[in-house]
Structure 1
Amino acid sequence: MLVLPGAKALDVGIAAHVFAKRPSMPYDVRVCGERAGTIDGWNGLAYAVDHGLETLAWADTVLVPGHRNPADTTTPPGVITAQRAAHERGTRIAAISTGAFTLAAAGLLDGRRATTHWHYTRVLREQHPRVDVDENVLFVDAGQVLTSAGAASGIDLCRHLLRRDHGVALANQVARRLVSAPYRSGGQAQYVPRSIPEPLGDVFAATRAWALEHLDDDLTLTALARQANVSARTFSRRFAADTGITPMQWVLRARVDRARELLERTDLAVTRIAELTGLRSDTSLRRHFGALLGTSPSAYRAAFRE
């Protein structure tokens, strides 16, 4: 984790907490700065780090928390050089919130789709016109380089890294530990229009949680709207405005996500997994699995276990 002056405590804490050193977590975490010592943070906080930029040569993944006033902050030349060298070696580099400005300063986002906190998307676009800035998502996975929106979406990004590295089961285990939503796709809207009443969002959150417990049921739009106690038309329109996808697209992704976990953790036949996830048949499971993940359930299981 690369901590720079002005680093936001929540962003630093998210990365440290998600990848916390525990027996169940297969990561070795080191915190570094431009040099070892004390780094001034934000709102009177400071960070004592034991490592300097040489740590980027050791790491397989570099996480860059956000920092205050990114529009007026100049990234130190040594940080830019270290990032570029790490990227050239194949190191994965991910930014939380305004940490995207640090990656952009090194040219790592040029020609790539990226995001940052919605308050700074316009500034990022103006300062770095070669970056394809998407202000309507929680995070962007561009392969070797990843970026997220502000604050809590850093949790979604970090859990996405867990899913990439070690599968759905570990990511869901961490979600339970953090008491966070078990499933939020990167394409979900980061900024909800104020015209959507807050209590309705709460109801929809409860409906999504209910749906995750009933994936093997017939989850039609009508059934979801009935559970949310609104009309199907209202539910569909406001669900899409809240999440960025339609209700049935969300259900499909949740079902495939559950299928991934069952493939990872059980020896159940693909046909049985299709039944348990509401996809009904192995043909349907294979079709949707391939469309969303680009592989088959059997190949996924074999690759994960290998």
Structure 2
Amino acid sequence: MKSPAAQILRIAVIAFDGITPFHLSLPGMVFRDAAFELKICSADRSPLRTTGGFDIAVRHGLAALARADIVILPTWHDDCRDAEPALLAALQRAHRRGARIVGLCLGAFPLAQAGLLDGRRATTHWAFADALAGRHPAVAVDREVLYVDDGVLTSAGVAAGLDCCLHLLRQLRGAEVANQVARQLVVAPHRQGGQAQFIERPLPVSGSDDRFAQVLAWVGERLADQHSLDALASRAAMSRRSFTRHFRDATGTSFKQWLLNQRVAHAQRLLEGSALPVEMVAQQAGFGSALSLRQHFRAALRISPSAYRKLYRPTGEQS
């Protein structure tokens, strides 16, 4: 099997008259290396007006979707209007032939109208989630999460669109490449899709918050150890109840899910950057056994640890 780096993946990003420039720029900021060929396409006549007060020239029509490996609709009109039949038909054809379909923010609306989200979980910007659910009852709308990967990818608002694209990049090119792009963009390298859209206090603002951050860093350096809420709360000088509430406010998820996410990410790095046997990777990442690692790894990334290693370790470095 060729490594992802050896494949040129064609990405079609759909623009429209009246688009927000920042939304349109998200895929280009993430999928910008030589492994991707990115084309902006539109059903509308070029040049397209934008909400930024300037026009953009688009060289490709919807025919670009016919050869795309990935199709991204980075947003949609704020009034959530119905999409034109030509766009819906192009999306349906791309989906039928196996292209990966992504709807960022309000981009979920045309995907739902095309029937691509029927029977699937999906999300969108929290302010429009009720409208999506009411208009498309066959879609299981999750109003709180950052993004959902249920065969078709959908995300919440602008920042969550970056998270969603980084999630896809991680699947296509591995954790290290995704982390490098995240560092260049100065954003969190890995926020899980199940994390809440609202985070009350993302940065430490007091002495207790600083202690809390130190506890998270301490756990991150000891992922192979067992951690109890009582012990961590004591280390943070908090009650168990206060620690649990503070953790969700600060991270948008539970400690159990956060720890699992950290362990999966650490296992990814070990599989990419070392020749350790899978059993030892499982132990160092805190899963205890190879079986447990395989179960959680496949649930999170839809691939086995061994297959992941074959994809993302350089040729000739297999153990």
Interval containing the TM-score (normalised by the shorter chain): 0.7 to 0.9
Matched, 1:40 2:49: yes
Q: Which amino acid aligns with 1:118?
A: W
Kindly provide the CA deviation profile for residues 228-249 of structure 1, in whole angstroms up to 9, marking residues without a partner as x: 5543321212323555542132
Q: Paired residue for 1:56?
A: 65
Residue aligned with 2:57, SS: strand
Q: Paired residue for 1:11?
A: 23
Q: Mark the runs of 5 or more structure 1 residues left unpaired by the alignment.
A: none
Residue 161 of structure 1: how far off its partner (Å): 0.7
Q: Paired residue for 2:149?
A: 141
| Greater mean alpha carbon deviation, residues 130-139 or residues 260-269 | 260-269
Kindly provide the CA deviation profile for residues 76-106 of structure 1, in whole angstroms up to 9, marking residues without a partner as x: 2211111111111111110110111121221
Q: Indicate conservation of the 8 Å contact 1:189/1:242, yes or no.
A: no
CA distance in 2, matches of 1:65, 1:173: 22
Residue aligned with 1:49, SS: coil
Shift of the 291–109 alpha-carbon distance from structure 1 to 2, 3 Å rule, reads: closer
Q: Mark the runs of 5 or more structure 2 residues left unpaired by the alignment.
A: 1-12
Residue pairs, 1:8-157, within 5 angstroms: 8-20=20-32, 22=33, 25-35=34-44, 37-71=46-80, 73-143=81-151, 145-157=152-164
Give the TM-score, by structure 1 length: 0.84
Matched, 1:164 2:176: no
Give the TM-score, by structure 2 length: 0.81
Residue 189 of structure 1: how far off its partner (Å): 0.7
Matched, 1:184 2:191: yes
Q: Indicate conservation of the 8 Å contact 1:221/1:248, yes or no.
A: no
Identity, in percent, stands at 44
Shift of the 9–290 alpha-carbon distance from structure 1 to 2, 3 Å rule, reads: closer
Q: Would you say how many aligned residue pairs link Structure 1 and Structure 2?
A: 300
Q: Which amino acid aligns with 1:41?
A: T
Q: Which amino acid aligns with 1:13?
A: S
Q: RMSD of the alignment, in Å?
A: 3.1
Kindly provide the CA deviation profile for residues 92-142 of structure 1, in whole angstroms up to 9, marking residues without a partner as x: 110110111121221211222110000100111122222111101110111
| Greater mean alpha carbon deviation, residues 264-273 or residues 296-305 | 296-305
Q: Indicate conservation of the 8 Å contact 1:36/1:51, yes or no.
A: no
